[in-house]
């Protein structure tokens, strides 16, 4: 199938597999073969940014420094995503397995899982499963170890370089790039940092083969992905769906019949209004998402939604760079003042321009993506912001 045309439920991520079998298969491959397989699968990072996983591994593999790291980003912080928690809870052995495959591909001996502070309750179980995993790879005869670092609740620490700083015990602030993590990541060593789901997907790709895997999805968005569905829906929860469906198809399945907007990709994502449901594809050719899908029905005030997001960003910006630190406060105060009538409604136009500046001027992805929700909500629900 070249182009997916509908909403298809898939069961790969949570599928029970024999990790030993998959890993044995992977370890028989050369690292180039693994990277080639992942490249062919078309897998893009499942955290939201969508960088091709195979390429990331290729860059890390090409670094000369023998001391390399594979880091699993389990700091799932985007408002509205809760899929990594489910994955870790149900199939952590596949996360560890994916990390082992990545370590083989890039030439790392050490893996680190950076776990969201709020997920600490999972840790005892994850550690037990990690022990079993270490035992298993010892049996296979593969030299690799994983350890855990805990986050402390800052949203920004999901940003890769802020995450490294946090692991190193420093203030969680994004670094200047370049150098990129593949050159200088955690402890300033070459690092591949991948999302929880990405790593699980790699297990599936090795198991089923890239050719089978990339039958799913579309040209730009191969495969399937786990969605966290929340908001005004009769069926909230975790669903693995083939990529390439339209928002309309998604709403047909999960909406309550009164859906007026879907926020795709969380607070840093895009708001899709009803009139654009049909034309908008969920995926890298349309609106990308790390999994967060929030449905809003007509009882919701989009002003409140926007206010909530801006409040969140004004709080969760690391505060380091001007556009993000001050910009978020200006957007928040700006919409408040528009609502109160303290400034003219045309002030929204100034704020949209500011959001555009934040997109091109901020230091990291946080500040760069604040404008996504702002622009799409203000453009599509302007009257709700003003009145």
Partner 1 sequence: MINLTINDQKTSVPAGSTVLDAAKKLNINIPTLCNHPDLCIAGNCRVCLVEQKGARTLIAACAMPVAEGMDIHTNTLKVRNARKHVVELLLSEHRSDCTKCYKNQKCELQSLANEFAFGDTIFLDLVEDHPYEIDRSSPSFMKDDSKCIRCQRCVRTCSELQYISAIAVANKGAHQKISSFHDRPMSHVVCTNCGQCVNRCPTGALVEKTYIDQVWDAIYDPEKHVVVQTAPAVRVALGEDLGYDPGERVTGKMVTALRQLGFNSVLDTDFSADLTIMEEGTELLTRLKKALVDGDKKISFPMFTSCSPGWIKFIEHKYPEFLPNLSTCKSPQQMFGALAKTYYAQKRKIDPSKIVSVSVMPCTAKKYEADRPEMRDSGYKDIDYVLTTRELAVMIKQAGINFRNLEPSHYDSIMGDSTGAAVIFGATGGVMEAALRTAYEIVTGREVPFNNLNITPVRGMEGVKEVTIKIEGCTDDWKFLEGAELKTAIAHGLTNANKIMRLVRQGKSPYHFVEIMACPGGCIGGGGQPIPTSMEIRKNRMKAIYSEDEHMILRKSHENPDVIAIYKDFLGKPNSHKAHELLHTHYVEREQY
Site of interaction with partner 1 (CB under 8 A): 154, 156, 171, 173, 176, 178, 313-323, 325-330, 333-334, 337, 343, 350, 353-354, 357, 359-363, 368
* Cα dist from 38 to 71, 74, 205, 206, 255, whole Å: 17, 21, 7, 8, 34
Sheet holding 145-150, edge to edge: 145-150, 110-115, 69-74, 191-195
Of residues 31 and 320, the one with the C-beta less far from partner 1: 320
Of residues 25 and 177, the one with the C-beta less far from partner 1: 177
* Tokens describing residue 12: 């790969």
* Minimum CB distance to partner 1, residue 150 (Å): 18
Of residues 13 and 150, the one with the C-beta less far from partner 1: 150
* Minimum CB distance to partner 1, residue 114 (Å): 18
Distance CA 19, CA 91 (A): 10
Return all residues near 90 (Cβ < 8 A) that are at least 6 apart.
Answer: 14
* Minimum CB distance to partner 1, residue 47 (Å): 18
Q: Which residues pair with 227 in a beta bridge?
A: 239
Of residues 29 and 326, the one with the C-beta less far from partner 1: 326
Of residues 19 and 266, the one with the C-beta less far from partner 1: 266
CA atoms within 13 A on the CB side of 353: 5
* Minimum CB distance to partner 1, residue 330 (Å): 5
Distance CA 96, CA 339 (A): 49
Distance CA 153, CA 216 (A): 35
Of residues 308 and 337, the one with the C-beta less far from partner 1: 337
Degrees to nearest 5, angle at CA 291 with 287 and 294: 80
* Tokens describing residue 18: 């024999």
Q: Are 187 and 69 in contact (CB under 8 A)?
A: yes
Of residues 112 and 321, the one with the C-beta less far from partner 1: 321
* Minimum CB distance to partner 1, residue 284 (Å): 14
Q: Are 41 and 255 in contact (CB under 8 A)?
A: no
Which is nearest to 356 in space by CA: 344, 370, 343?
Answer: 370
* Tokens describing residue 108: 């790392």
* Minimum CB distance to partner 1, residue 261 (Å): 26
Distance CA 133, CA 5 (A): 39
Of residues 164 and 313, the one with the C-beta less far from partner 1: 313
* Minimum CB distance to partner 1, residue 184 (Å): 12
Of residues 50 and 236, the one with the C-beta less far from partner 1: 50
Of residues 20 and 333, the one with the C-beta less far from partner 1: 333
Q: Which residue has the tokens 């950076």?
A: 114
* Minimum CB distance to partner 1, residue 187 (Å): 18
* Minimum CB distance to partner 1, residue 52 (Å): 16
> What are the start-end ranges of the E strands in 33-135?
69-74, 110-115
Phi-psi region of 81 (alpha: psi -120 to 50; beta: other; left: phi over 0): beta
* Minimum CB distance to partner 1, residue 108 (Å): 25
Which is nearest to 293 in space by CA: 329, 342, 331, 253?
Answer: 253
Neighbours of 125 (CB within 10 A): 12
**178 preceded by cis ω (within 30°)?**
yes
């Amino acid at each position: 199938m070249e182009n997916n045309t509908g909403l298809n439920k898939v069961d790969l991520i949570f599928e029970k597999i024999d990790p030993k079998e998959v890993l044995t298969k992977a370890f028989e491959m050369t690292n180039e073969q693994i990277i080639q397989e992942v490249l062919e699968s078309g897998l893009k990072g499942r955290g939201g940014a969508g960088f091709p996983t195979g390429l990331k591994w290729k860059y890390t593999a090409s670094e000369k420094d023998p001391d390399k790291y594979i880091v699993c980003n389990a700091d799932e912080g985007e408002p509205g995503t809760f899929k990594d928690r489910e994955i870790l809870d149900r199939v952590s052995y596949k996360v560890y397995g994916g990390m082992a495959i990545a370590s083989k591909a890039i030439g790392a001996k050490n893996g680190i899982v950076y776990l969201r502070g709020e997920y600490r309750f999972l840790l005892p179980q994850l550690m037990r499963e990690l022990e079993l995993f270490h035992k298993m790879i010892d049996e296979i005869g593969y030299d690799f170890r994983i350890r855990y670092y805990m986050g402390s609740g800052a949203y920004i620490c999901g940003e890769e370089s802020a995450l490294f700083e946090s692991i190193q015990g420093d203030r969680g602030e994004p670094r200047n790039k370049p150098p990129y993590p593949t050159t200088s990541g955690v402890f300033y060593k070459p690092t591949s940092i991948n999302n929880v789901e990405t790593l699980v997907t790699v297990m599936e790709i090795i198991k089923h083969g890239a050719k089978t895997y990339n039958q799913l999805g579309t040209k730009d968005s191969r495969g399937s992905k786990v969605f966290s569905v929340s908001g005004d829906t009769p069926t909230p929860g975790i669903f693995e769906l083939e990529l390439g469906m339209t928002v309309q198809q998604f709403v047909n399945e999960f909406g309550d019949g009164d859906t007026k907007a879907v926020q795709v990709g969380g607070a840093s994502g895009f708001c899709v209004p009803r009139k654009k449901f049909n034309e908008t594809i969920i995926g890298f050719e349309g609106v990308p998402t790390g999994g967060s899908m929030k449905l809003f029905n007509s009882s919701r005030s989009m002003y409140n939604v926007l206010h909530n997001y801006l409040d969140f960003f004004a709080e969760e910006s690391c505060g380091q760079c001007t556009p993000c630190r001050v910009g978020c406060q200006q957007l928040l105060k700006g919409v408040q003042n528009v609502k109160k009538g303290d400034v003219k409604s045309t002030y929204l136009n100034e704020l949209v321009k500011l959001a555009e500046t934040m997109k091109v001027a901020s230091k990291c992805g946080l500040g760069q993506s604040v404008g996504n929700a702002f622009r799409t909500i203000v453009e599509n629900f302007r009257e709700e912001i003003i009145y």
